[in-house]
Amino acid sequence: MSPCSPVQLSVGFNTTLSLNVSSTSFPSQYKISGWLKNGTSGLGSRLVSLKINDTVVDSQWTDSFEDWRGCYSFVHDFPAVNNGSTTYTVSVSFNGTNPASASATSITLGGSNYAMCTTVQFSQIPCSNSTMLTVDPQSTIATTPTKTPEEMQQAHVSRMYARSGIFFIPYVLICIR
């Protein structure tokens, strides 16, 4: 008879991590921001990590000033790959504070010890949040103004009269000496 899997508990104050993604004035650059809170109170001086497609790309401490306590903000480039639509997974995470663990063990009928319960205690429990961001390629369309044959002829006639000191006004021909 094998022992059952131990129960794992995480205890501490619950935390929430909000996540907002907004574009900046630069193409392919986005601002990732939010708040780390315990209830309605912001948690200052806590480390928040930014992951793009499951890779940590940046970390920073949350703000500890009174009005902005718990606020974080990253700016990151999200280019369109191979000039096509590209989807990114954007995640922020907080690993909790002051983790400590304890285990309760028991002895099987055969005399072996096994863990019945493992408890991990935090001051603040870890949390995370994620979203998907799809970036479309930036397109630039260069156009050259085209003229009809009549417009080109009119422009040629206007230049010819301007060189000779005669200005052309539709239906009126004025000669200036």
Q: What are 76-128's pLDDT values in tens digits? A: 999 999 988 999 999 999 998 887 777 777 888 888 887 777 777 778 888 99
The Cα–Cα gap between 62 and 71 comes to 5
From 58-62, 74-78, 158-162, the region with the lowest mean pLDDT:
158-162
Q: What percent of the chain has pLDDT over 70?
A: 72
Q: Which domains does the chain have, with CATH numbers?
A: 7-135 (2.60.40), 146-177 (no CATH)
With bands split at pLDDT 50, 70 and 90, how would you rate the model's confidence at 12? confident
Q: Are 34 and 41 in contact (CB under 8 A)?
A: no
pLDDT at 8: 66
pLDDT one-digit tens code per residue, 34-59:
999 998 899 999 999 999 999 999 99
**Model pTM score:** 0.64
CA distance 86 to 73: 23
Position 173 scores a pLDDT of 46
Angle at 75 between CA 70 and CA 78, to 5 degrees: 135
Tell me how crowded residue 10 is: count the other CB atoms within 10 A of its CB: 14
